[in-house]
Structures are given as structure tokens and as C-alpha cells.
Structure 1
Amino acid sequence: MSSRSPRGDPESRRVRVEEMRRADRTHERRRKITIGVVSAVIVAAGGVGIGYLVSASDSSEQRQATAISGGKTWQGLSRNHVTTDVSYPMPPPVGGDHHPVWQNCEGDVYDEPVSDENAVHALEHGAVWVTYTDKARAADVKALADRVAKTPYTLMSPYPGQASPTTLSAWGHQLSVNDASDARIAQFLERYVQGPQTPEPGAPCGGGKSS
């Protein structure tokens, strides 16, 4: 009488095959789940990164595009070096032809008016020029002088011919204010001291004209 091994029993083979199929299906499901989870993490991470970059870029562009309230802008200003007087269309000037020597702008505060042509060269180097008339309050003049003295790439001087008590000028940009407490002063300095408008970024502010 012969006996069959369980492996030879047709029923046993069917059961074993079914078990193998179930195992294969389970393994496949786990593999797909793992791939799905990993892919989701990668996509999510990539999406966050891309979203951050886009948001950061958008924010930067918005900051650049957002004008300071009340500010004026000029474009296409010439940049020739000249040794003659220049007739500028706006007082104080914000750009144009200028003297080969720049006005020192390392936080320099001048008690007397300075040459337009030298000051414009300082603007070309990325300086902000703070000017004022006798209509500006003495306390405001002192507060602005203290701020300028602590800020590289700035200069300050009287400017009798301007319309407002205080004016801030950068290359191609200008802002008029009535008093030193105006929050736009800090905005202007932050944006335009060595700002993106600078034709010659990194050029020196010392070693020029000192009076």
C-alpha cells in the first residue's frame, strides 16, 4: 500500500498555490503602498520647496514693485562725466550728467550746500542724499543728521531751492517729507542705500570731495 506525500496531494497543492497567491498579493499591495507613500512624501516636499521658492520670489518682486507712498521716479538718466554746471530738471537732482569726483557719502553731514554735480555722482555710487531747507524744524534736522551719521552711503546738506522741508534722493528716486518722524524715511533708506537702482554698486563713498 502506497502512501502519498502531502506535497503530492492535489488538494494540498491547491491550498499551497492559493497561499502563495495570497502571499504574492499581500506583498504586491505592500510594495504599492510603500511606493505610494514615498512618492507622496517626495511630491509634497518638492511642492513645498517649489511653493516656497515661488512665494519668496513673488514676495521679492512685490517688494521691488511696491512704490513708497508719495515717492517719485525717473528713468533713462544720463551718466556722463562733465566738468561744467548741469541744469537738472528736478531740485535736488536724482541723476544725470555729473562731476567726475563724487561728494563724500560715508554718513557725511554738511552744514553748507554741496555741489549738485558732485552729489549726483554720490547717488550713482548708491548713496541717499538727505537735503533740507530752513522750513525744517531744528529738532528734525538734528534727528536726521544723527541717522545719516550712522548710515554708510548717505550724505546730508542744506538745499535752499527745494519745495519741501526735507527731501531724500537716490539715483532715479525721490521722496519729500515734512518731518523726521515720517516712517517713509526709514523705508527709503532701507530700499535705496546701495539698492537695486544703483548704477555702480560697491563703488566707494570716501576719497571724494569733502566740502
Structure 2
Amino acid sequence: MSFGPGGPPYATPPQQPSDAARSTRNRAIAIGLSAAVVAGLAVFGTYMVLETSEAKVNRSSGSSGQDDKPSGGDSADTGGAIAGLKSWDGAELGRNHSAGDVDYPMTPPVGGDHNPSWLNCDGDVYEKAVPNVNAVHSLEHGAVWVTYSTKAADADVTKLAERVRSTPFTLMSPYADQEGAITLSAWGKQVTVDSADDRRVDQFLAQYVQGPQTPEPGAPCTGGLETVPQ
């Protein structure tokens, strides 16, 4: 094999980058790394801000929930057991129609035999005492009967009257012989309170107006007696 005059062809050795090129490359790498670190820190910072904000919202929501929960004296709480509630077996209370008086074992009565005519109980407020036998018939239809004695304050009587007028299947009347100031009666259920602001007033109305104790659900509270029989 022959070679040219210049001798054998040697491979050209690779050119080493210049100092300037190396410096530029290193600077670019450093800038890239710095940018990556800054971006990572920014993402981490955003995450921490969001976590902190969410924690604050959760703490705030928890406090609000506790504040919104009705206290023991808040009348807005209409669920749960009613303190001092008296109950009778509704199935054991008579339901026969009677044209005369009926001797009831409780005052005011919460059920038993009654007059064929019921008192209107569509939020009706009676200024005079009403006959037990007609009011009990209203209870059979699912009404709540609110009664008050001379022990009740005038302001409470006024407030109760407003409450009754805005509540279908209720009636209200004075009742001189009852023991407490204010009594709420439904079929087989009764509670006595001292004030119209007692939370049990709203509890009783919420649970027993057309409640599960009603012997004749769907029966009307209108079309009965509009005035107190003399």
C-alpha cells in the first residue's frame, strides 16, 4: 500500500473547547440549576400557603359550626326529647262521641271521649275558655291546644297568640284550672312551661302538630265550631 507524499493520513485530533466556551457552558448550567431551584421553592411556597389557608378555613368552619349549634336554651332546637313531657297511651284513651260532659283524668285533657263537633283549630285563638269535649276532638285531628292561666304574663299570652295564629292545626284559650302558667296539649302528650320563650314551646309544636300521635291524620281543623258554645 502506498501513501502520498504527505505520509499516512492521521486522524485529526478533536478540538478541545476553549476556555471561553467552557465558561459559557458552565454559566448556562448554573443558571439552569438556579432556575430549577427557584421554581421548586416557588411551588413549595405556594403549596404551604394553600395548606395554611385551608387549615385556617377549616378552623374557622369548625368554630362557626360550634357557634351555630343551638344551646340548651335556644328555641330553634326543635328536635330531641322534651324535658318534663307527660305521656299517656293514646290507644287507651277513649274516642267515642258523647253529647254530654266527660270526666277527664288530666287537666287540661289530652284525649278521651268527646263531642261530635270539634273546635276550629286552624290557628284559632279563643278569648274565653272552651269546652273540653270540643277541644279534645280537635286534638284527635292532630291539633295542639295551647292553654294559659292567670299565672302567665300578658306579654307571654300575646306572644303565644301570635305563634298560634301563624301555625295551622293549633288553637289557644284560657284555662283557669290548670296548674302551670302555660300548657301545651296534644293527643296523649302534654308539657307545662312558665314562659313563651321556653324552647319546649317550639319543640312541642314541631313534634306534635299533626304528629305521629294523631289518631285521625288528615282530618280537618276547619269546618267545626267557630265560636265557643255557651
TM-score, reference length from structure 1: 0.68
Q: Which runs of 5+ in 1 are unaligned?
A: 1-64
- Cα deviation, 1:151-203, whole Å, max 9, x if unaligned, reads 00000000000000000000000000001110011000000000000000010
> How big is the shift at 1:210?
1.4
Secondary structure at the residue paired with 1:121? helix
CA distance in 2, matches of 1:79, 1:100: 10
Q: Which residue of 1 aligns with 2:138?
A: 122
Is 1:143 aligned with 2:159? yes
Q: Select the residue among 175, 192, 202 that pairs with 1:159.
A: 175
CA distance in 2, matches of 1:128, 1:155: 7
Task: Please report how far the alpha carbon of residue 66 of structure 1 lies from its aligned counterpart in structure 2 after TM superposition.
Answer: 5.4
Identity fraction in percent: 63
Query: Which residue of structure 2 lines up, in the alignment, with residue 53 of structure 1?
Result: none
Question: Cα RMSD between the aligned structures?
Answer: 1.1
Which whole-Å deviations, capped at 9, do the CAs of 1:55-93 have from their partners, x for residues lacking one? Answer: xxxxxxxxxx95411010011111000101001011100
Amino acid in structure 2 at the alignment position of 1:81: H
Of 95, 108, 128 in structure 2, the residue corresponding to residue 112 of structure 1 is 128
One of 72, 77, 80 as aligned partner of 2:93 = 77
Residue 68, structure 1, aligned to residue 79, structure 2: no
Question: Counterpart of 2:156 in 1: which secondary structure?
Answer: helix
SS of the counterpart of 2:97?
Answer: coil
- In the alignment, the residues of structure 1 paired with residue 156 and residue 80 of structure 2 have an alpha-carbon distance, to the nearest angstrom, of 27
Alignment partner of 1:174: what SS? strand
Secondary structure at 2:146 match in 1: strand
Structure 2 alignment gaps of length 5 or more? 1-78
SS of the equivalent of 1:126 reads: coil
Amino acid at match of 2:85: G
DSSP 3-state at the match of 1:143? helix
Q: How does 1:1-211 map to 2 (within 5 A)?
A: 67-75=81-89, 76-211=92-227
Aligned pair count reads 147
User: Cα deviation per residue 1:3-57 (whole Å; 9 max; x = unaligned)?
Assistant: xxxxxxxxxxxxxxxxxxxxxxxxxxxxxxxxxxxxxxxxxxxxxxxxxxxxxxx
Q: Higher helix proportion, which one?
A: 1
Q: Distance in 2 between matches of 1:97 and 1:66?
A: 30
